[in-house]
Amino acid sequence: MARKLRDVIKEWSPQQLTGLDASFYYAESPRTPMHIGALAIYDPSTAPGGFVRFKDILSFIESRLHCSKTFRRKLKTVPLGLDHPYWIDDPEFDIEFHVRHIALPKPGDWRQLCIQAARLHARALDLSKPLWELTVIEGLDNIPNVPKGSYAIVSKIHHCAIDGASGVDITEALHSLEPDADPVEPGAPWSPGRRPGALELLARANWNNAVKPFHALDVARRIAPGTLKFAAGLTRGDIKLLGAKIPRTRFNGIVSAHKAVEATTFKLEDVKAIRQRIPGVTVNDVMLAVVGGALRRYLKAKDELPADSLIAMAPVSVRKAGEKNAAGNEVTALSIPLGTHVADPLARLHFAHEKAKNQKAMSNAVGARELADMSKLAPAMITGVATRLYSRLGLANRLSPMFNTVVTNVPGPQAPLYMAGARLTASYGLGPVMDSMGLFHAVTSYCGEIAVTITACRKMMPDPAFYRECLEASFTELYEAATGPRDAKKRPPAGARKREEATRTTNGAPSIVDDLTKIEGVGEKLAKRLNAAGVIRFAQIAALSEEDATALEARLGLKGRIKREAWIEQAAALAEGRTPQTRNDASVH
């Protein structure tokens, strides 16, 4: 019997969902479809003849199906759910089931396009078919900056099949770099592989469950050095735990089946101009700060802004170069405070940068790849049952959230892409929403622009256009704080120039972190605690209202010191370049 079991296993060894991949499959429900995708807009004027027909798009996609196995594979579940599902070829694959064609309702404006994209994204994929779908949308006639005759494509691919990085690879597989590019090299004639029987699936499940403890030991062996490195970092103070309780917001409950989609775009050169304001800041840090500012504005307008910072879950790819076209998910996740409790935009950027740097240090210490491998070891039955119980018991309304929103950054190509000759003019990422995670931000870049697209539960965010305005206002506020007003023509006064020159950093950029120890009563340790709380500038302290000062004192345990030691008055003087009057000075007079 043992010999036959080994023969069965060796004879059939297709790709199986990992524990992480399978978690997206188990989380699937009519309310929470677990696909990712994009809303892409195309200008057909670049195509031969200046137009593109639906059959041209269909033919172009069909000619590239061999570029990814994802297109023709579907899932085969294991009897009794004893193991994670497997990918098998679909012998009944029909491209016309997966590529569809509709028209946008009049007036064909941006709002109608977002509503249509939200409706399409809210519908679950057919789990008995290959897990992808493209819908061509015509009638985009009243959208600013979109050429007449353009069309859109809403794509959907199940998250158990791809992550953001492999999604970019599939996007590239379905596009060319020239409008009249030569056809791709045809693949070998396709024929579906054989379908496994129940006995084979059960045999494989028994084998996998038998060897899983050994895989766990291997991961534990590889993660042990990183654990020691992590502990050493904590001891030295190089790594800090988040510590604070994650606040609950309107986005952290049970989601409805209805979705909302909205997006806005910024110039990459403007983002880079902000990045240069603080040494070491990345484009991702800037976008985290923009999202933090937008959430602050939105929740403040609803009178729902928590005193503590909201936390974003930021997926990080651990995919190696050799895994470029591999299916599945190769990611780990960072929990990054967004600085929603910080009013000053530059201080919020500094806060997000420091928190992101700390989280990366934690991930690097343990090993991002090892953390991702740990997530793949969960037993199938436990993962499936736990995921479904979380949803059915409504635990999202009872348990504290692990994070408040998702912010995923997926860099895209900076050269134009074409499909069937039509130029891709804009691309907006779409993500899943699920219980306790009702707001998803996709940050994507393409051809010198960065788009921020939100997918949300419509019940939790009934006004997505207002949130888009919050994103745009947050970006403008941060840009002007970093570079000055866009229409500013005059140089600052001489006194201001001297103060700026006196606070320049070694790389020539003006420093935004003031030396808070110049305030009498603030020592080095307290200054570091204030910085960690997002307070880095004299102007922030000078602008504290009585309510804000009380909240800050409660957070840091200051017990009335702000008023008693006249921090606000001292900070106001220092912000203006004056020497503050200390308590000792006051006693002399």
Residues tagged active-site = 159
Phi/psi of residue 38, nearest 5 degrees: -160, 155
Q: Among 340, 15, 328, which Cα is nearest to 166's?
A: 328
Instruction: Quote the CA–CA distance of 125 and 132 in Å, as a whole number.
Output: 7
The pair of three-digit structure tokens given for residue 498, joined into one six-digit string:
């001297």
Q: Is the dihedral of CA 477, 478, 480, 486 positive or negative?
A: negative
- Which H or E run contains 569? helix 567-575
- In one letter, which amino acid is 326? A
Closest CA to 390 of 431, 435, 345: 435
Taking the C-alpha atoms of residue 128 and residue 93, their distance in angstroms, rounded to an integer, is 11
Element (H, E) at 445: strand 439-446
Tokens of residue 199, six digits = 């006995």
d(CA 357, CA 314): 13
Query: What's the N-to-C CA distance of the chain in angstroms?
Result: 98
Q: Are 34 and 434 in contact (CB under 8 A)?
A: yes
What whole-number distance in Å separates Cα of residue 180 and Cα of residue 185? 15
Cα 580 to Cα 108: distance, rounded to the nearest angstrom: 60
Task: Specify the DSSP class assigned to residue 136.
Answer: E
CB count within 10 Å of CB 122 equals 20
Cβ pair 421, 238 in contact under 8 A: no
Residue 243, C-beta contacts closer than 8 angstroms, at least 6 positions apart: none
Distances (CA, A) of 86 to 17, 76, 169, 314, 388: 6, 5, 22, 28, 20
The amino acid at 376: K
Q: Write the DSSP symbol of residue 329.
A: -
Phi-psi domain of 501 (left: phi exceeds 0; alpha: psi -120 through 50; beta: other): alpha
Of 324, 408, 409, 419, nearest in space to 40 by CA: 419
CB 64 within 8 A of CB 132: no
Cα torsion 123, 124, 129, 134: sign:
positive
Q: Are 219 and 96 in contact (CB under 8 A)?
A: no
User: d(Cα 181, Cα 63) in Å, to the nearest integer?
Assistant: 13
Task: Give the DSSP H/E element, type plus range, for residue 73.
Answer: strand 73-76
**343: closest CA among 335, 351, 333?**
351
Give Cβ neighbours of residue 186 (< 8 Å, ≥ 6 apart): 63, 66
